[in-house]
Amino acid sequence: MALPVLICDDSLLARKQVRKSLPESFDADILTAGNGVEALAILRSQEIGLVFLDLTMPELDGIGVLEAIKQEGLDCFVIVISADIQPEMQKRVTELGALAFVHKPVNPEKLVVILKQYGLI
Amino acid sequence: MSTVFSEEQRDCLQELINVAMGLASDKLARFLNTFVHLQVPAIELVSSAQIPAQFEARYSNTEAALVSQGFLGNDGLRGEAIVLYQLDNAHRIAALLGYDTDSASELEMLTDISSILTTTFLNGLADQIDNSLSYSAPRVLSSRQTNVSQALQETAFHWELALKVDISYQLIDHSFNCDMLLLIPGEAVSNIQHILDRILEEY
């Protein structure tokens, strides 16, 4: 069965880069969101198995989304894909429950390693 | 900029710049040994003749420094990167980093920071468009200078266009503001459009 996946990034290019970096063997139903507020609205209204989450976004940033997911007990895996690559930031998102931290720009090699590691492909 | 680039091209350029800026922030954070709060840099392409007026207000009541570094890449990619600093916090940051607090050391610090910011940022940008750059040594155009617009005028005069990248770094204990300007030749616009279209075609 296809896994419901949410790609959240304010950049259209970045959303396309994630989509294009997913392996063909990964069976997913893909939804997209342009900021954290949109992402939370989707996460609260339907089952999402996996979220690809940008950090630096308008309205509500990725940290805000991670905090809400934790507080509200929303059940999903989160892979952060970020241009802000400071070790401090990586530590913060891991503490907030993110599964993995990927440095932008994303590419198939980076995602395949993580998806394999967590048995998603 | 909306008249020069399509919405898709603008989005693409912004994302390339965000990624490059992330690399530069990380380098700067390591150099300053602190966490740098990264904001999305506002970008705008303007005629270089407009530059002095655009920065006059922001730098009118403060002492400022300008540091310049030239860059050159493949396929005619070239330009001059200018970093502008407000010097309000320069002494404190210099002391924090272990530089002496005399004016020569302050210049040395600003040159070091500019070089980190400029070369990391531009290398990050060049990597994403399969180019590579070489740089001239950074030089301080002016420091403790109250007439920023005049200094800008003398530099911007040599170029037709400027890509403005507003950087506002908030360090954990103190604010550190600077602006980066990429001065580029007029024909660069069609080159940039071409590069952005090539990337957009890939996705």
CA B149 to each of CA A31, B36, B79: distance values in angstroms, whole numbers, following the listed order: 48, 28, 20
pLDDT (0 to 100) of residue B3: 64
Chain B within 8 Å of A85 (Cβ-Cβ)?
yes
- Tell how far CA B103 is from the center of its chain: 23
What pLDDT score was predicted for residue B174? 67
ipTM: 0.92
Hey, are the CB atoms on B35 and A88 less than 8 Å from each other? yes
Domains and CATH numbers, chain B: 7-202 (3.40.1550.10)
The domain tally of chain A equals 1
E strand segments, B119-185: 133-135, 139-145, 161-171, 175-184
Helix (H) or strand (E) holding B79: strand B78-86
Residue to mutate among B7, B12, B15, with most A CBs inside 10 A, is B15
CATH code (residue A38):
3.40.50.2300
- H helices of chain A, where? 12-21, 36-45, 62-72, 87-95, 108-117
User: Which of A17, A19, A86, A110 has the highest number of chain B CBs within 10 A, making it the mutation to test binding with B?
Assistant: A86
How confident is the prediction along chain A (121 residues), in pLDDT tens digits per residue? 899 999 999 999 999 999 999 999 999 999 999 999 999 999 999 999 999 999 999 899 999 999 999 999 999 999 999 999 999 999 999 999 999 999 999 999 999 999 999 988 8
Residue type, A22: L
Give the residue numbers spanning the domain of A29: 3-117
From the list B35, B38, B203, which residue is nearest A13 (CB)? B203
From CA B43, how far away is CA B9, in angstroms rounded? Answer: 13
| Cα B14 to Cα B22: distance, rounded to the nearest angstrom | 12
* Chain B nearest C-alpha distance from A81 (Å): 11
Residue type, B74: N
Q: State pLDDT tens for residues B36-73.
A: 887 778 888 889 888 888 888 888 777 888 899 999 99
Strands B161-171 and B175-184, sheet pairing: antiparallel
DSSP assigned state of A40: H
Residues of B with CB under 8 A from a CB of A: 8, 11-12, 14-15, 18-19, 21-23, 25-26, 29, 35-36, 38-40, 128, 199-200, 202-203
Rounded distance between C-alpha atoms, residue B57 and residue A95, angstroms? 42
pLDDT more than 90, % of chain B: 35
Provide the 8-state DSSP code for B159.
-
Residue B41: asked if its preceding bond is cis (omega within 30°), the reply is: no
Query: Between β-strands B36-37 and B161-171, what pairing exists: parallel, antiparallel or unpaired?
Result: antiparallel
Which portions of chain B are predicted below pLDDT 50?
A: 1-2
* CB-count burial class (<10 Å; 0-12, 13-18, 19+) for B75: exposed
Q: How far apart are CA B82 and CA B79, in angstroms?
A: 10
Adjacency order of strands within the sheet including A50-53: A28-33, A3-8, A50-53, A77-82, A100-103
User: What's the CA gap between A102 and A107, in Å, rounded?
Assistant: 10
In this prediction, residue A87 carries a pLDDT of 92
Q: Which positions in chain A touch B199 (Cβ < 8 Å)?
A: 13
Q: What is the dihedral of CA B125, B128, B131, B132, to 10 degrees?
A: 50
